[in-house]
Amino acid sequence: MRCWILCLSIACLLSPADPSQLAAEGLLQDDTIANMLKEVHEPVATEALHVKFNTKFTPDFEEQGCYLSVGQDKCLEDCHFNISAKTFFVIHGWTMSGSFERWLESLVLALRERELESNVVVVDWLPLAHQLYPDAVNNTKAVGEDIARLLNWLSEKWNFPLHKLHLIGYSLGAHVAGFAGSFVNGTIGRITGLDPAGPMFEGAEPDQRLSPDDADFVDVLHTYTRGALGVSIGIQMPIGHMDVYPNGGDIQPGCGFGDVLGALAYGNIGEALKCEHERAVHLFVDSLVNQDKESLAFRCTDSTRFKKGICLSCRKNRCSNIGYNLKNTRSKRSSKMYLKTRADMPFKAYHYQMKMHIFNYNTLEEDEPSFTVELYGTDNDTLPLALEIPDQIGFNFTNTFLVHTEDDVGDLLKIKLSWQGTSKTWTSWWKGLKSYYWAPGDAKKEELHIRRIRVKSGETQKKFTFCAEDPLLVNNKITPGGELWFVKCRDGWEVTRGKRFHLNSDHGLH
Residues labelled as active-site residues: 171, 195, 277
The DSSP letter of residue 340 is: -
Provide CB contacts within 8 A for 28, sequence distance 6+.
11, 19, 22, 229
The answer to whether 140 touches 182, Cβ cutoff 8 Å, is: no
d(CA 356, CA 398): 5
The answer to whether 196 touches 220, Cβ cutoff 8 Å, is: yes
The whole-angstrom distance between residue 58's C-alpha and the CA centroid of its chain comes to 29
The answer to whether 476 touches 484, Cβ cutoff 8 Å, is: yes
Question: Which of 164, 197, 167, 201 is closest to 183 using CA atoms?
Answer: 167
* Residue 16 identity: P
Q: Which helix (H) or strand (E) holds 228?
A: strand 227-228
The answer to whether 90 touches 123, Cβ cutoff 8 Å, is: yes
**What are phi and psi for residue 453, nearest 5 degrees?**
-125, 125
Question: Which of 30, 79, 88, 371 is closest to 228 using CA atoms?
Answer: 30
Phi-psi region at 317: left, alpha or beta (left = phi > 0; alpha = psi -120 to 50)? left
d(CA 110, CA 71): 30
Total Cβ atoms within 10 A of residue 265: 9
Question: Which of 273, 200, 196, 275 is closest to 239 using CA atoms?
Answer: 196
Total Cβ atoms within 10 A of residue 175: 30
Feature table: binding site for Ca(2+):
209, 214
d(CA 343, CA 130): 30
The three-class DSSP label of residue 262 is helix
